[in-house]
Amino acid sequence: MATKGRFITIEGVEGVGKTTNIEFIESLFAQHKINYIKTREPGGTPLAESMRELLLQNREERFDSTAELLLMFAARSQHLNEKILPALEQGQWVLCDRFTDATYAYQGGGRQLSKQTIAELEALVQGELRPDMTLILDLPVEIGLERAAKRSEKDRFENEQVAFFERVRNAYLERAEANPERYAVINAEVSLAEVQAQIAEVFEQRLLP
């Protein structure tokens, strides 16, 4: 799959400040006159957003973890083929709030599903396509959860236990450690200005050239 635009994803456990920092990245794109689209997972197209609702709704019936995994990839396939790939092929950059690293972190780390299975689904849905750069906003889990708790009603994932999110965080950090060229781990425990200075540095040194 030949692509021209750059594919940038943002990841992190709940409450790390993804929304605010995505806005900051958009301001960097605007300054540099980068033509881009902003999107998110699960979701990003009307059909994939319907799948997102199914995934996030609290419900009485237990959501089987494999069903959850498959629905994440079903939404991803729709989003990738209908929105992400066409944008990249037209030379647009794609700024995506979460992507397959979230599956490795939440379904692999959190739910403890097999990484091998996730890798097989990744190959099926994405072929060789991977983000060009993934920013992981990193924060101790308790601090993130405290911040997230101040927001509106909790969704099905936000209702998980601290140990679940510890596994999610560790899975993100392990992936970054194993492949430092594709990831930038941003320390999100410092002031917003300091977080943004780190992001601006990654942008200038690793994305612009």
Summarize as ranges the residues that interact with ligand TMP (CB under 6 A).
Answer: 14, 41-42, 72, 97-98, 102-103, 106-107, 157
Structure tokens given for 19: 């929304």
Count of C-beta atoms within a 10 Å radius of residue 150: 7
Q: Give 28 or 70: the residue with its C-beta nearer to ligand TMP.
A: 70
Q: Give 88 or 122: the residue with its C-beta nearer to ligand TMP.
A: 122
CB 119 within 8 A of CB 40: no
Q: Which residue has the tokens 């920013």?
A: 135
CB of 40 to ligand TMP, least distance (A): 6
CB of 136 to ligand TMP, least distance (A): 13
Q: Give 132 or 158: the residue with its C-beta nearer to ligand TMP.
A: 158
* Rounded Cα distance, 78 and 66, in Å: 18
CB of 97 to ligand TMP, least distance (A): 6
CB of 96 to ligand TMP, least distance (A): 9
- 17 φ, ψ to 5°? 100, 30
CB 101 within 8 A of CB 11: yes
